Amino acid sequence: MLEIEGLNKTFASPSGDVVALHQIRLQVEKGQFVTFIGPSGCGKSTLLKIVAGLDTAYQGSVKLNGKAIAGPGVEKGFIFQEPRLFPWLNVERNIAANRSLRDKEVCKQVDELIELVRLKGFEKAYPRELSGGMAQRVAIARALLRRPEVLLLDEPFGALDAFTRTHMQEVLLDIWENNKTTMLFVTHDLDEAVFLGQRVVIMNPRPGHIRNVIGIDLPYPRKRSGSSFQELRSRVLSEFEKVETPAIEIGAGI
């Protein structure tokens, strides 16, 4: 379980301090799928980096299974907006990275993951030969090989076209149903947030804080056209309409 309590984060800058996160409080049960949505600059990436252990300069407490997060590690997989693959390694070696493919167990798991992220036949391809969606699937497989307890995804499908994005969402749900990995998924796409998450965390900027958490009590696989989906979607949307910043991309995923 992930517990965030009284989290504050301030960036010092020449033009004055920026409060990126203000009094964040959140609990995520093991295996839960939580989506975060909010306009840019509301601290979503900052929050994810802190949970990942990539940023340790904050006030408050962030605990995974009762232990304060001390630094980055494989139990907290991170998927960045860009795939960030090693351009000199082919797909299977990118997934293995610092693990050896000569190890039979690693090799077998890499094969299974390639199957899972639907990249059969591309084991030997180099990143430059892959489309954006394929590369992001390699990044996901790379994280999964380490059997993370939590997967942190920072707008992972933001750069993909709508069609690929829908496909990737289905792949991700497949993975989640198989592995029951806890998912923290940041997006600025309302439909994506409602389609994927069991809870949608709505964040606002200046200073970055959680405005509301809405439970999405719909069974998977979800239908975007269903009336209950539309109902929840408009509930989340109405939360935004109370906010003066119209910076959010509403319905970008349709």
Partner 1 sequence: MQGANNRWSLRALHLFVGALLPLSILAVWQYVTAAGMVNAILIPSPKSIAAEFGAMISSGELQRNLGISAWRAMLGFLLGGGLGLAAGLWVGFSIRTERLLDPSLQLLRTLPHLAVAPLFILWFGFGEMSKVLLIAKGAFFPLYVNTFLGVRSVDRNLFDVAKVLEFTRWQTITKLIIPASLPSIFLGIRLSIGISWLGLVVAELMGSSSGIGYIINDARSFSLTSVIFVGIIVFALVGKITDSIVKLLERRLLRWQNNLKGAGS
Ligand X SMILES: Nc1ncnc2c1ncn2[C@@H]1O[C@H](COP(=O)(O)OP(=O)(O)O)[C@@H](O)[C@H]1O
DSSP letter, residue 234: H
The residue within the footprint of ligand X, chosen from 32, 35, 45, 187 (CB under 6 A), is: 45
Least gap, CB of 43 to ligand X (angstroms)? 4
Which residues between 153 and 172 bind partner 1 (CB under 8 A)?
Answer: none
Nearer to partner 1, 53 or 205 (CB): 53
Contact in structure between 38 and 204 (CB atoms under 8 Å): yes
According to the binding rule CB under 6 A, does residue 35 interact with ligand X?
Answer: no
According to the binding rule CB under 6 A, does residue 209 interact with ligand X?
Answer: no
**Who's near 205: CB < 8 A, 6+ residues apart?**
38, 39, 41, 42, 43, 245
Residue of 229, 199, 224, 204 whose CA lies nearest to 40: 204
Q: Which residues of 137-174 are buried (b: 16+ CB within 10 A; e: fewer)?
A: bbbbbbbbbbebbbbbbbbbbbebeeebbbbbbebbbe
Nearer to partner 1, 69 or 202 (CB): 69
d(CA 147, CA 63): 19
Give the interface segment with ligand X, choosing from 24-32, 37-45, 61-69, 124-132 (CB under 6 A). 37-45
Kindly give the residue spans of alpha helices, DSSP state H, lying in the chain.
Answer: 44-52, 91-96, 104-116, 132-145, 162-179, 190-196, 227-241
According to the binding rule CB under 6 A, does residue 182 interact with ligand X?
Answer: no
Nearer to Mg ion, 48 or 91 (CB): 48
The residue within the footprint of partner 1, chosen from 10, 19, 80, 245 (CB under 8 A), is: 80
One character per residue 6-45, x = contact with partner 1 (rule: CB under 8 A): ----------------------------------------
Binding region for partner 1 (CB under 8 A): 52, 54, 71-74, 76-78, 80, 82, 84, 86-90, 97-98, 126-128, 142-143, 146
